[in-house]
Copies of this chain bind each other. A is one copy, B any other.
Amino acid sequence: MRKSALLSIGEVAGRTGLAVSAIRYYEEEGLIAPERNAGGRRRFLRSDIRRLSFVMIAQRVGFTIGEIRAQLQKLPDGRTPTKKDWTKISRGFSRDLDARIDTLNRLRDNLDSCIGCGCLSLQRCHLVNPKDEAARDGPGPQFVLRDKN
CA distance A68 to B44 in the complex (A): 42
Q: Tell me how far the C-beta of A16 lies from the nearest C-beta in chain B, rounded to whole angstroms.
A: 6
Q: A115 near B17 (CB under 8 angstroms)?
A: no
A47 neighbours in B (Cβ, 8 Å): 149
Give the residue name and chain of the B residue nearest to A143 (CB).
B17
With A83-B119, A144-B17, A145-B49 given, is the CB distance from A90 to B112 under 8 Å? yes
Q: Tell me how far the C-beta of A85 lies from the nearest C-beta in chain B, rounded to whole angstroms.
A: 8
Q: Tell me how far the C-beta of A102 lies from the nearest C-beta in chain B, rounded to whole angstroms.
A: 10
With A111-B97, A112-B94 given, is the CB distance from A117 to B87 under 8 Å? yes
Chain A residues with a Cβ closer than 8 Å to the other chain, count: 60
Q: B145 near A116 (CB under 8 angstroms)?
A: no
A61 neighbours in B (Cβ, 8 Å): 104, 107
> Which of B108, B142, B147 makes the CB contact (< 8 A) with A98?
B108
The reply to whether the CB of A139 lies closer than 8 angstroms to some CB of chain B is: yes
Encode A86-108 as 1/0 by CB contact (under 8 A) with B: 11011101100110110011011
> Which of B57, B111, B118, B137 makes the CB contact (< 8 A) with A94?
B111
A83 neighbours in B (Cβ, 8 Å): 117-119
Ordered by A's residue number, 20 sampled pairs between the chains whose C-beta atoms are within 8 Å are A17-B142, A46-B147, A46-B149, A49-B145, A50-B149, A53-B127, A56-B141, A57-B115, A60-B130, A60-B133, A61-B104, A80-B149, A84-B118, A85-B118, A86-B116, A87-B117, A89-B115, A90-B111, A98-B108, A101-B105
